[in-house]
Amino acid sequence: MTLYFTQDHEWLDVSGTSATVGITDYAQGQLGDVVFVEVPAAGTVVAKGKEAAVVESVKAASDVYSPVSGTVTEPNPALAEDPSLVNTAPEAGGWFFKLTLSDAAELEGLMDETAYKTWLATL
């Protein structure tokens, strides 16, 4: 599996043509306590850089953008019952959805973990 990051603080864990999408620990920290998450249903087609999910916290509501284009294969059902997973396990059990990549070339514009951490240090 290969981990990628965006400047919008989404992460993407890719294995073959499948990927899992979530927000980073930095993003959840900026949001504060997450109280609601709306994720796309299976079969939804998402486009790179376009709104794919919504996360609401005690501070604000924010859009979550898809790091790549593809078709959602599985929303995270655990978030409906426990949205705080985004805070407690943002890069593990707090993932948003899984998808099948439609264009693997879109991965080329994303950062690896080292590049993301370096970029994050500039904020």
Q: What is the pLDDT of residue 37?
A: 96
Tell me, what CATH number does 8's domain have? 2.40.50.100
Residue 23 lies in a domain: yes
Residue 28 lies in a domain: yes
Residue 114 lies in a domain: no
Distance CA 116, CA 118 (A): 5
Domains: count for the chain: 1
Residue 27 lies in a domain: yes
Residue 91 lies in a domain: yes
Determine the structural domain holding residue 35 and report its residue range. Answer: 2-103
The pLDDT > 90 percentage for the chain reads 96
Q: What is the pLDDT of residue 1?
A: 73
Confidence of residue 110 (pLDDT cuts 50, 70, 90): very high
Contact 5, 74 (CB under 8 A): no
Residue 112 lies in a domain: no
Torsion of the alpha carbons at 119, 12, 107 and 54, rounded to the nearest 10: -90
Confidence of residue 45 (pLDDT cuts 50, 70, 90): very high
Q: What is the pLDDT of residue 60?
A: 87
Tokens of 15: 């294995």
